[in-house]
């Protein structure tokens, strides 16, 4: 990382530069947003939800051993916590598509290592920079000169006549275009939509292409795992990187900058940065079978989840998220209360369903799905919408179906919808201890906040699995 003094100088100079640039931008970039399309901080706080888009790759956002991780993910989670709202994350590796999502109000924030450029300042408002990078050539090292007779290049001039691949809409594309125009050397530029820098670098390592230009920060993460690659040739100077918001979200921009001004100087941020960049452990994570970005496994039980989830009509990724919540995929797990295995069966439940507590993992999953089906069958008569019913089933798996039926009765009695979970039945599960003496309560008290947190965490993790894990 750069020294704190240099970083502060870059940060503030770029921030001032962005303000100056924005003041000079044509009003067209602001007035193209109709008044009824404006969404700013007040709307986010009222919704209780921040919607952000980030790229999924080996540093920003990925799944490792069942849990979402990544530099951008960790920062976004901390920022959402600072705002006091939930985080809803969309994964997108096409930069231009992310910008279009921002402009159409599908998202509130682009959380990438976006290079601040004059062109981007015409349509985006950048936050304070959280890093810096430069554009580099990724190529096979001097001992591998390319399958098509290509040579190792030592500077930007030697790219003349070469085919160079970049991510569509990236700062790299602009840099290569500028080099080609300046030198008149006819670089053949190929901008690939839907590919991120890490995928392009993989193509170099596999010999499918010879030259890729991308951000050095990302290149070094990937090259650390590929002994046949080099990223030592820089083709630009240092450039600051930041998040971005719409020009019509000035209050959100102020709040992000207020947070960043403090956050970037904390030890917590320093740990996050070092966790993903320049850390040998990251290279080891990336080589693990359970490091999931574009391929890999969520767990060793994925095939069983795929097979048995069909019996209850669930997405297998939802079942996987639930099993992670129960046991972290450990088939030998034993809880302090005596629950056992992947699905954390209590002895009484195991007896009811006729299984032994030391069953093989495949049988544990089969029995657990059987229990979920049993719960689902008993809820079907209430005609709960399917997208809602899954939350009721999860709550019943955690706390018992009786507590869920009590909460439905309380919701009906006190004017809420007994077939909707969020802010309706969820409220009465969470606060059931306060209603233990109510005549409609048949199954006693409950520490309901544990159950609502259980459902929330499973559904949140499921969203991350949907973002990244192939169905």
Residues catalogued as catalytic: 326
What are the beta bridge partners of residue 188? Answer: 163
Please name which of 273, 235, 246, 279 lies closest in space to residue 131, comparing C-alpha atoms.
Answer: 273
Report whether 14 contacts 129 (CB < 8 A): yes
What are the beta bridge partners of residue 167? Answer: 192
Half-sphere exposure of 399 (CA within 13 A, CB side): 30
Please name which of 158, 116, 153 lies closest in space to residue 138, comparing C-alpha atoms.
Answer: 153
- Tell me which H or E stretch contains 253: helix 250-263
DSSP string, 146-164: -TTS-----SGGGGTT-EE
Sign of CA dihedral 170, 172, 175, 181: negative
Strand-pair category, 211-215 with 291-292: unpaired
Sign of CA dihedral 304, 306, 312, 315: positive
Please name which of 254, 258, 244 lies closest in space to residue 29, comparing C-alpha atoms.
Answer: 244
Place of tokens 């669930």: 314
Residue 86, φ and ψ in degrees, nearest 5 = -80, 155
Please, is 65 exposed, middle or buried when counting C-beta atoms within 10 Å of its C-beta (0-12, 13-18, 19+)?
middle
CA distance 47 to 214: 37
Per the rule left: phi > 0, alpha: psi between -120 and 50, beta: everything else, 450 is alpha
Sign of CA dihedral 378, 380, 383, 385: positive
């Amino acid at each position: 990382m750069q020294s704190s003094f240099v970083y502060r100088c870059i940060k503030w100079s770029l921030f001032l530069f962005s303000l100056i640039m924005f003041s000079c931008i044509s009003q067209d970039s602001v007035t193209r947003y109709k008044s009824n399309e404006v969404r700013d901080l007040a709307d986010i706080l009222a919704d209780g939800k921040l919607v952000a888009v980030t790229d999924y790759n080996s540093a920003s956002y990925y799944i490792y051993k069942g849990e979402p991780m990544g530099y951008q993910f960790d920062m976004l989670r901390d920022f959402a916590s600072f705002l006091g709202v939930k985080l809803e994350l969309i994964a997108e590796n096409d930069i231009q598509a992310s910008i279009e999502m921002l402009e159409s109000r599908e998202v509130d924030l682009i959380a990438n290592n976006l290079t601040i450029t004059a062109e981007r300042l015409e349509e985006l408002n950048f936050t304070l920079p959280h890093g810096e990078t430069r554009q580099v050539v990724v190529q096979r090292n001097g001992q591998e000169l390319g399958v098509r007779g290509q040579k190792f290049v030592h500077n930007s001039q030697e790219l003349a006549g070469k085919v160079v691949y970049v991510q569509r809409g990236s700062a790299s594309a602009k840099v290569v275009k500028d080099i080609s125009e300046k030198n008149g050397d006819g670089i053949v530029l190929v901008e690939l939509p839907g590919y991120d820098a890490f995928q392009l670098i993989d193509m170099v390592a596999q010999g499918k292409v010879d030259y890729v230009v991308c951000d050095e920060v990302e290149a070094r993460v990937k090259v650390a795992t590929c002994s046949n690659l080099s990223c030592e040739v820089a083709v630009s100077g240092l450039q600051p990187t930041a998040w971005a918001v719409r020009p019509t979200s000035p209050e959100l921009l102020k709040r992000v900058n207020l947070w960043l001004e403090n956050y970037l100087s904390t030890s917590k941020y320093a740990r996050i940065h070092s966790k993903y960049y320049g850390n040998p452990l990251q290279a080891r994570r990336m080589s693990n079978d359970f490091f999931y970005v574009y391929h890999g496994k969520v767990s060793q039980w994925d095939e069983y989840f795929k097979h048995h989830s069909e019996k209850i009509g669930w997405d297998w990724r939802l079942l996987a998220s639930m099993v992670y919540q129960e046991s972290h995929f450990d088939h030998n797990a034993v809880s302090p209360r005596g629950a056992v295995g992947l699905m954390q069966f209590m002895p009484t439940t195991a007896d009811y369903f006729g299984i032994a507590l030391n069953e093989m993992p495949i049988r544990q999953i089969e029995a657990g799905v059987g229990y979920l089906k049993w719960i689902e069958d008993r809820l079907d008569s209430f005609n709960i919408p399917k997208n809602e019913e899954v939350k009721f089933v999860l709550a019943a798996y955690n706390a018992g179906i009786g507590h869920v039926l009590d909460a439905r009765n309380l919701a009906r009695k006190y004017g809420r919808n007994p077939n909707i979970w969020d802010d309706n039945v969820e409220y009465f599960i969470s606060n059931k201890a306060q209603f233990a003496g109510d005549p409609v309560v048949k199954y006693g008290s409950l520490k309901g906040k544990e159950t609502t947190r259980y459902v929330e965490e499973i559904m949140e993790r499921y969203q991350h699995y949907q973002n990244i894990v192939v169905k």
